[in-house]
Chains A and B, each alone.
Chain A
Amino acid sequence: MEERSLHIVIVGSVDHGKSTLIGRLFFDSGSLPPEKLEEVKRVCAELGRPLEFAYVMDNLEEERTRGITIDIAHTFFATPKRKYVIIDAPGHKEFLKNMISGSSQAEAAILLVEITRGIQEQTLRHCYILSLLGIKQVVVTVNKMDLAGYSEAAFLDLKKRIEEVTMKYGITPSYIIPISAMEGENVAAASDKLSWYKGPTVLQALDNFEEMKIEEKGARFPVQDVYEISGQKIVAGRIEAGRLIEGQGLWVLPGKTKAKVASIKKYLEPDLKEAQTGECVGLILEGAEVKRGDILSETLSPTITRTVHANIFWMIDKDYKLGIPLTFKCATQETRGKIERIRRRFDPASEKEAVTDAASISQAEVAEVDITLSAEVAIERFSDIPELGRFVLEHDGRPVAGGIII
């Protein structure tokens, strides 16, 4: 059986060459359809520009005329080793919500730093976001080496600073690679101009990423919906941890009642006795009435609470002020609430010290907060059960922040 694809996000500051790197990767590995290349050539000629590999990813007219990436694009790519989904993220601060949306889908990341400009505000911010989202596999590419005459000394100098910064944010890059995306040096093929560098190319570094392993844990099944089909009540949901077995007893949280799995249903699979993590199934339950938002759990280890202690990142340009009502969405649970206390607040891109007991949070800031809710929820640490340890906050139906339970 073919393994599933690995999702990789490309991040870094504006103009450090993210879209160009992906375009080049596609071109050099022969993955670019000929008409796509023709289309890019034609548009570049119309705009009076040299061939711009970034246009492979930047398909919106506004992106091409302004020369920036506005929104994430997912593209598909394969090496002989495996399949990839490559997510190109924008580098501007104003598009941070798009970068976070893209990163939330990724298991690994490539962080770009441009050799002449070095570490910028957005480099720091993106680095911190990766760390917060729990993306541990990161490759750093030092781009535009052509502008530094392919100098090893310049590379080593920046490499040292990159190592300091990533260590501060709890990330250990698996490789730091000198490249020129524009010229195709060290992208798909090893570069003669960078022959002093002995490590892998970008393409080889991708193949060295590892897939996240699914660990053995107690079953968790957030109820998504309940259907009445042919007189039967079918409880629909996805297994977020562990496995479910026919006859198994489960706790229904947050109410702490007990239910038994009478049978497991999947269309066209009549004799299902067991289902694994990641499977969407239907359950026939005995002993309890359940509804959307209930969490079925093998153990009582989730915390049942109305107060959530978490790190959040504020994504929109309107500030949050203490007391403004919010909606808390975690797995299939949804309830009203508000931030009661902002313990610490800081901007990961700034040298300024964190503000304690703050009254507001602004765009691109990170904060350690206590959120109070109008109803009990079942939550866990993000590091234990990710699906029950991360959440989105909305205001008036719009997502405003993401959060990680600590």
Chain B
Amino acid sequence: MDHLTALENKSIFIIREAYFRFRNIAMLWSVGKDSTTLLWLVRKAFFGVVPFPVIHIDTTYKFPEMYRFRDEYAKKWGLNLIVGRNEGQVEAGMGPGKGTKLDCCNELKTNALKQIIEKNGFKALLLGIRRDEHGIRAKERVFSPRDENFKWDYENQPAELWDQYKSTAAEDNHFRVHPILHMTELDIWKYMKKENIPLTELYVSKNGKRYRSIGCAPCCSPIDSTASNVDEIIAELESTHTSERAGRAQDKEDAYTMQKLRSLGYM
């Protein structure tokens, strides 16, 4: 079995395990390349149907292209789309210019997510994070339990042997399930090419610049690039040494920002 097929089968197995175990689950879709790939894999796992809600955490600071892409494919793929917004904080003017970036991510992303989970009582969330994105994410389990405070107990994670994923214990409020944890950035692009997965135009070069990683517009910087299609992006990544999230503001401020955010329930 070739590399991409092996990765796909591993992901589909995990997605089906999560759905069997919890039924009351949802997936997070940021509209970026990773969670769009995850959404594609979910469609393949369930023979073209997405049998659970798809959540978009809307900080109100996303790129306009992302909102357009979201609405187009939510309709095309018949998704049950839930848009999650921390309305109280949005109205109070929370933003990247107010307080630290950690506060902003925590309020507009993590707390918006908390509200959605509480309201819907989801027992598990599928997330498109990958181990090669960040050293902290490299430490994650496929099925990662969270307590009622959403705390990630990274110093005492449960054993995870072979493809046997942990059952629910009394202290587990919900699980974060990570079906593409084992894929790299390059794997994602090669898989998107193989499967012809749609992507937002932010990833391709416009006036000599493109985004390698997308999130909120004020906190993302484009990279210099002439890559105008998926083949050229793959060629570019194969010859670069710069890391993927170099253009993301949040990671830079402090060596352990990601660890702090994630221990509080960030994705």
Contact = CB atoms under 8 A, between A and B. Distances in A.
A279 interface: yes
Interface string A31-57: 011111001001100000000000011
Given A1-B2, A60-B154, A70-B155, A394 B241 contact: no
Interface string B16-54: 110110000000000000000000000111111101000
Given A3-B2, A4-B1, A60-B259, A268 B139 contact: no
A397 B136 contact: no
B183 to A, nearest CB: 9
Contacts of B62: none
A13 to B, nearest CB: 20
Contacts of B141: 101
B151 to A, nearest CB: 15
A71 B153 CA distance: 11
A225 B16 contact: yes
A59 B132 contact: no
A280 B48 CA distance: 15
Contact of A280 (B13, B20, B135, B242): B13
A75 interface: yes
Contacts, number: 159
Given A85-B182, A267-B44, A402-B159, A59 B138 contact: yes
B47 A227 contact: yes
Majority secondary structure, A binding face: mixed
Contacts of B5: 279
Contacts of A140: none
Interface residues of A, number: 66
Interface string B56-72: 00000000000000000
A194 interface: no
B92 interface: no
Interface residues of B, number: 55
Interface stretch (B114-122, B162-170, B203-211): B162-170
Contact of A100 (B6, B48, B161, B166): B161
A347 B151 CA distance: 34
A315 B16 CA distance: 27
Nearest to B162: A104
A288 to B, nearest CB: 19
Interface string A279-316: 11010000000001000000000000000000000010
Nearest to B44: A267
Interface of A: 1-5, 30, 32-36, 39, 42-43, 56-57, 59-62, 70-76, 83, 85, 97-98, 100-101, 104-105, 224-225, 227, 229, 234, 236, 238, 265-268, 276-280, 282, 292, 315, 327, 329, 387, 390-392, 394, 396-399, 402
Closest 9 CB pairs of A and B: A59-B135, A397-B169, A1-B2, A33-B243, A97-B159, A392-B164, A73-B138, A4-B6, A397-B167
Interface of B: 1-7, 9, 12-13, 16-17, 19-20, 43-49, 51, 131-132, 134-136, 138-139, 141, 154-155, 157-162, 164, 166-170, 172, 181-182, 184, 241-243, 246, 255-256, 259
Given A2-B3, A280-B9, A397-B168, 5 more contacts: A56-B135, A59-B134, A394-B167, A397-B167, A399-B158
